[in-house]
Structure 1
């Protein structure tokens, strides 16, 4: 989407910004040009659920060196936000591929009278390299594809205390992965860990990956844990929502964290598969690898 100043009818030129969010975990619904320097950006709601508008992830190109802009994210669905407490969006570019946070002094989160007193997050930015494509996001993205690459690399290590299996498929036929981490000894406690039931809470994936990296390491504590505990880890409960760039919902517009009671195998297949696993583990009192009297500890890394 190329955005030109209001009333401009000539040939497009440098500084007429081109916005794009048609990529994995991308989200940007609309851009309004307020002036040559200011743009109102509208978040696309979660698929099939207009209530949630928080996650954004988009690119900007066709910039001019030293071009200064103000981007206003104008349609947040939440009033409470970490932006009120000093968090700032992240940015990277083709020549600087490492994500970094925008300076907090350039980010403002406030009630805006021009947008029915909704909360707006505005940030100022100066483009410094004309050939770069810049990418801005709500927080550090962690995509479904990134997870698959990570799990593939783990699997190639052929660790005898790590097993990867496909627990099920999402509505759009993406993998629901299950990792089992434990050493061969018997009579153990059981811990179930899950992450990314809410797609926009990407820090959960970084935490989960850190936990996995530690548990498969040769750290003395990790070795002891593997000797005494069976870890069942589901790294991404909502792969469709993550892929689509949603904030809270699945493909069909459901907040999966509100449907544990009676998940549908058709509407909530990933949730249904995980609940079936937990129920089976709870009932499996005669398993040779599980202490009959042990309780299952379940942890969600949802933020």
Structure 2
């Protein structure tokens, strides 16, 4: 509404400018005394109109520029595909302006592996980082899954990771669920303590929902991995289905239903009694995951 009002106002100012231009052209064809008399009578109106137009152009120009920047920032925070085109790859995050050699505590982030997802990392302080996750393939509205590793940590280093561009307003993180973590010396996934996980609206990110979790590193040589929940990769699924197929089970039939957008196999599994009298109930199940 304000934008349309600005357009109407600027249009009226443009008309005034045209009127003044016509006046200047008229002056060339009119005796100087008449023009002087006209300007003396309407000097205040003309001057005020020009000043209003100049102020309006400056004000609404700034407003439109800020509006454009706001939309750009929103798109970037939303994790649009144009903003986050790939996962971070061994990205060392250092304080702004730092040019010295890498130190312990300058965390290295990586998500270039199967099921990994982390598109951007912003350094907030030595103890805090804003993380941006990439959206689903062909659907930038959904941003849920994250899975990444960190290394080059310092023993007893405490950090807060903020996932700042979640697309969901409702999440199990609000009801006690927490991310999972493992490390090279402790390869079994464990959930973080729920008391260290916070899901909230953040005024610093246009009141989007943010999930923050605190963590303390205890071993410098370990590589730590954090994920939304227990990862189950496509390769692992294919290996499992292939092992079932090799067993030649009478009650299991595996078929290729089609291919995904990224040319990955979509399997159809039929589990039934091979001796069927035609009076069996049929159940259909499908699954999907935002990744």
The residue number in structure 1 matching 2:236 is 146
* Deviations, residues 150-194 of structure 1 (Å, cap 9, x unaligned): 112212222222222222222322111122222321224242433
Indicate whether 1:44 and 2:125 are aligned: no
Indicate whether 1:189 and 2:271 are aligned: no
Give the Cα separation in 2 of the matches to 1:171 and 1:121.
Answer: 30
Q: Tell me which stretches of 4 or more aligned residues in structure 1 moved more than 3 Å.
A: none
Relative to structure 2, which stretch is displaced further, 163-172 or 34-43?
163-172
Relative to structure 2, which stretch is displaced further, 159-168 or 76-85?
159-168
Pick the structure with greater CA Rg: 2
| Helix, strand or coil at the partner of 1:84 | helix
Indicate whether 1:100 and 2:190 are aligned: yes
Give the Cα separation in 1 of the matches to 2:142 and 2:218.
Answer: 33
Picking from 67, 70, 81, the partner of 2:160 is 70
Aligned residues: 200
Judge conservation of contact 1:14–1:62 (CA < 8 Å) in 2: yes
Give the Cα separation in 2 of the matches to 1:19 and 1:49.
Answer: 25
Superposition TM-score, scaled by structure 1 size: 0.62
Q: Give the structure, 1 or 2, with the largest relative contact order (CA under 8 Å, sep 6 or more).
A: 1
Give the Cα separation in 2 of the matches to 1:186 and 1:50.
Answer: 45
Matches within 5 A, 1:6-25: 6-25=96-115
The answer for unaligned runs of 5 or more in structure 1 is: 201-245, 247-303
Relative to structure 2, which stretch is displaced further, 21-30 or 187-196?
187-196
Task: Supply the RMSD in Å over aligned alpha carbons.
Answer: 1.6
Structure having the higher helix fraction is 2
Matches within 5 A, 1:78-97: 78-97=168-187
| Helix, strand or coil at the partner of 1:58 | strand
Relative to structure 2, which stretch is displaced further, 170-179 or 57-66?
170-179
Indicate whether 1:29 and 2:119 are aligned: yes
Give the Cα separation in 2 of the matches to 1:132 and 1:147.
Answer: 28
Superposition TM-score, scaled by structure 2 size: 0.65
Indicate whether 1:157 and 2:250 are aligned: no
Give the Cα separation in 2 of the matches to 1:88 and 1:97.
Answer: 18
The residue number in structure 1 matching 2:261 is 171
Q: Structure 1 residues 134, 195: CA separation in 2 closer, same or farther (over 3 Å shift)?
A: farther
Judge conservation of contact 1:21–1:58 (CA < 8 Å) in 2: yes
| Helix, strand or coil at the partner of 1:60 | strand
Q: Structure 1 residues 142, 193: CA separation in 2 closer, same or farther (over 3 Å shift)?
A: farther
Q: Structure 1 residues 161, 101: CA separation in 2 closer, same or farther (over 3 Å shift)?
A: same
